[in-house]
Amino acid sequence: SDNDHTTEGEPGALRTPIVAVLGHVDHGKTSLLDKIRGSAVHEGEAGAITQHIGSTAVPLDTISDIAGELVDPDDFDLPGLLYIDTPGHHSFSTLRSRGGALADIAILVVDVNDGFQPQTHEAMDILARTGTPFIVAANKIDTVPGWNPEPNRPSKVAIESQSDRVESDLNERLYEIIGQLSSKDISADMYWRVQDFQSNVGVVPVSAETGEGVPDLLTVLMGLSQRYMKDEMAIDVGGPAAGTVLEVKDTQGFGTTIDGVIYDGTIQANDTIVVGAKPNSIVTEVRALLQPKPLAEIRSDEEFEQVSEVAAAEGVKIAAPDLDDAMAGAPIRVVRDRDTSDVVDLVQQELADIEVSTDDD
Nearer to ligand GDP, 218 or 310 (CB): 218
26 binds ligand GDP (CB under 6 A): yes
Give min distance, CB of 162 to ligand GDP, in A: 15
Question: Given candidates 25, 128, 157, 298, which one binds ligand GDP under the rule CB under 6 A?
Answer: 25
Site membership for ligand GDP, residue 29 (CB under 6 A): yes
Four-residue CA torsion sign, 272, 294, 215, 25: negative
Q: Is 31 in the site for ligand GDP (CB under 6 A)?
A: yes
Residues in contact with 47: Cβ distance below 8 Å, sequence separation at least 6, in sequence order:
59
Please give the full DSSP string across 275-301, using - where no structure is assigned: E--SSS-EEEE--EEEEEPPGGG-BTT
87 binds ligand GDP per the rule CB under 6 A: yes
Residue with Cβ nearer ligand GDP (23 or 265): 23
Nearest residue (CB) to ligand GDP, 16 versus 207:
207
Smallest separation (angstroms) from ligand GDP to the CB of 64 = 23
- The residue among 176, 168, 255, 204 whose CA lies nearest residue 28 is 204
Q: Which one-letter DSSP state was computed for residue 143?
A: G
208 binds ligand GDP per the rule CB under 6 A: yes
Q: Which of 27, 89, 90, 333 binds ligand GDP (CB under 6 A)?
A: 27
Kindly give the pairing relationship between strand 266-268 and strand 255-264.
unpaired
Q: Which of 209, 236, 305, 325 binds ligand GDP (CB under 6 A)?
A: 209
Q: Exposed/middle/buried for 63, CB within 10 Å: 0-12, 13-18, 19+?
A: buried
114 sits near ligand GDP (criterion: CB under 6 A)? no
Whether the CB-CB separation of 186 and 200 falls below 8 Å is answered with no
**Closest distance to ligand GDP from the beta carbon of 211 (Å):** 9
Among 5, 13, 20, 28, which residue sits at the site for ligand GDP (rule: CB under 6 A)? 28
- Report the nearest approach of ligand GDP to the CB of residue 25 (Å): 5
Q: Binding segment for ligand GDP among 20-28, 65-73, 237-245, 349-357 (CB under 6 A)? A: 20-28
Residue 117 within binding range of ligand GDP, rule CB under 6 A: no
Q: Considering only residues 252 through 291, tell me which ones interact with ligand GDP, judged by CB under 6 A.
A: none
Give the up-direction half-sphere exposure of residue 68: CA atoms within 13 A in the CB hemisphere.
9
Q: How far is the CB of 26 from ligand GDP (least distance, A)?
A: 4
3-state secondary structure of 306: strand
Q: Which is nearer to ligand GDP, 94 or 291 (CB)?
A: 94
| Rounded alpha-carbon distances, angstroms, from residue 33 to 55, 117, 130 | 10, 20, 22
Nearest approach, Cβ of residue 264 and ligand GDP (Å): 29
Residue 179: CB partners within 8 Å, gap ≥ 6?
none
Closest separation in Å from C-beta 89 to ligand GDP: 11
Reduced DSSP (H G I as helix, E B as strand, rest coil) percent helix, strand, coil of the chain, to 5: 30, 30, 40
As a whole number of angstroms, the distance between CA 101 and CA 94 comes to 8
Q: What is the DSSP letter of 260?
A: E
207 in contact with ligand GDP (CB under 6 A): yes
Q: For ligand GDP, give the closer residue by CB, 209 or 236.
A: 209
SS3 201: strand
Q: According to CB under 6 A, which residues from 125 to 154 bind ligand GDP?
A: 139-140, 142-143
Binding of ligand GDP at residue 90 (CB under 6 A)? no
Cβ proximity to ligand GDP: between 78 and 158 the closer is: 158
Could you say which of 6, 7, 30, 251 contacts ligand GDP (CB under 6 A)? 30
Cα(268)–Cα(333) distance, integer angstroms? 12
Length of the chain: 361
> Where do contacts with ligand GDP occur on this chain (CB under 6 A)?
23, 25-31, 87, 139-140, 142-143, 207-209
